Amino acid sequence: DAGVIQSPRHEVTEMGQEVTLRCKLISGHNSLFWYRQTMMRGLELLIYFNNNVPIDDSGMPEDRFSAKMPNASFSTLKIQPSEPRDSAVYFCASSLYKSFPETQYFGPGTRLLVL
C-alpha cells in the first residue's frame, strides 16, 4: 500500500513568493496533520483535520499560512508571502480517526528553503 505522499520533496523559492505544499493521505485514513521541523523548535504541529474539518489550527504561525482539504484524501499547505524564517522541513501525517491508538504515519517531508 502507498504511504503518505508529499510533493514537492524540495522547494527553493525567493522571499515574497507563494509556496504550496501538497499531501495525499493513506487510503482510508481520515485525519490529516501538518508539522514543521526546524533545528531551533523541533517538531511543531501546525494544524490538523478530522474528516476534512480543521480541528486545531493554533499552531499555524500567522495569517501567511493556510491549509485546506479540498477532498477527503488530499491537503494543501500554502504560505503567502513566504519569508526566510519559513525555511524548514514540512511533514504531513495521516491516521484513522477513532482507531485506538490513532497512530500517525508520516510522509517523506518537503524541505523548503526561502532565500
Partner 1 sequence: AQTVTQSQPEMSVQEAETVTLSCTYDTSENNYYLFWYKQPPSRQMILVIRQEAYKQQNATENRFSVNFQKAAKSFSLKISDSQLGDTAMYFCAFMNNAGNMLTFGGGTRLMVKP
Residues within the interface to partner 1 (CB under 8 A): 31, 33, 42-43, 45, 48, 50, 56, 89, 91, 93, 95, 97, 100-106, 108-109, 111
Nearest one of 56, 52, 10, 16 to 35, comparing CA atoms: 56
Least separation in angstroms between residue 90's CB and partner 1 is 11
In the complex with partner 1, which residue's Cβ is closer, 80 or 99? Answer: 99
In the complex with partner 1, which residue's Cβ is closer, 59 or 81? Answer: 59
Least separation in angstroms between residue 86's CB and partner 1 is 17
Distances in Å between the Cα of 47 and the Cα atoms of 23, 55, 64, 88 are 13, 8, 14, 16
Distances in Å between the Cα of 78 and the Cα atoms of 64, 75, 112 are 8, 10, 12
